[in-house]
Amino acid sequence: MKPIESMALVVNPSKSGARELAEEICRHPSLKKDHCLIMDSFPLHHSALDDFDVCCVIGGDGTILGVVAEAFRAQKPILGVNLGKLGFLATYTPDEIRDRIGQVIAGDYCTDQRSVIRCKLNDGSAQIALNDLVIKGNSINLIRLKVFHNEKRVAEYNADGLIFATSTGSTAYNLSAGGPILHPQTRSIAMTPICAHTLSNRGIIFPETAELRVECDCDSYLPNVSVDGRPLAESSSLFPMEISVEKDRITLLHDPDYSHYQMLRTKLNWV
């Protein structure tokens, strides 16, 4: 693969040792000092990654999700070092990156193209998600949502909410809610009801060409909407919203011997 000449390092300041590890990486002789920058605030501001080949995230999956929007806009790959708990996205451990950083900089890594979904809101704004879009009612009321696929009505859901997940996000909230695990190269949208009032309501996997529209029938209260765990401001102008798979994808960097199935076996305690 292409050697790395410059690197932006985004550290989660709440993670012990994150900045020290970033400084250690920056001192590597293969990286020039002026080609390396450490940042400790996210989400990243516009153009933060424009001058760098790679964004190295030191923290956990949540930290990676905080840089996704800018990395996707700039089309910069993400190298994740896990200081969190599970680490589905951040696949290098601190010891592994210390041992391997020279080879990674030299181009000894593999790339993993992941699809993202775009949510266009009724107010004209748009959000992208690497993991998921979640629509939920409040703690008291069920939420009533109508879903349309390419202008054809799918169903009306009375539930605690709906999850619209990418293949990457299929192992996050979607999995906890009983949704399917999708291979990361699957360019689909997995829609999973959260505690649907109609027991026959089940999740649906939509193709990458799907244009989904979600309407909300909730006059007395506003639903909670989050994108990759980030809550959006409550507003009646969010609906109807449109959800689709983006044509462009985001790139994750892994070790050459990375195996998605080995990662699942390890993280989910499979045999």
| Active site positions, annotated | 61
The encoded tokens of residue 35 equal 């080609």
Closest residue by Cα to residue 21 from 76, 96, 103, 87: 96
Q: Which 8-state DSSP code applies to residue 238?
A: G
Report the amino acid identity of residue 199. Answer: L
- Reduce the DSSP state of residue 174 to 3 states and report it: helix
Q: CB under 8 Å, gap of 24 or more: what pairs does 64-69 form?
A: 64/89, 64/90, 64/130, 65/89, 65/130, 65/131, 65/228, 65/229, 65/230, 66/10, 66/42, 67/10, 67/42, 67/43, 68/116, 68/128, 68/129, 68/130, 68/228, 68/250, 69/43, 69/44, 69/127, 69/128
Q: Residue 183 and residue 193: Cα distance in Å, rounded?
A: 20
Peptide bond into 94 cis (omega under 30): no
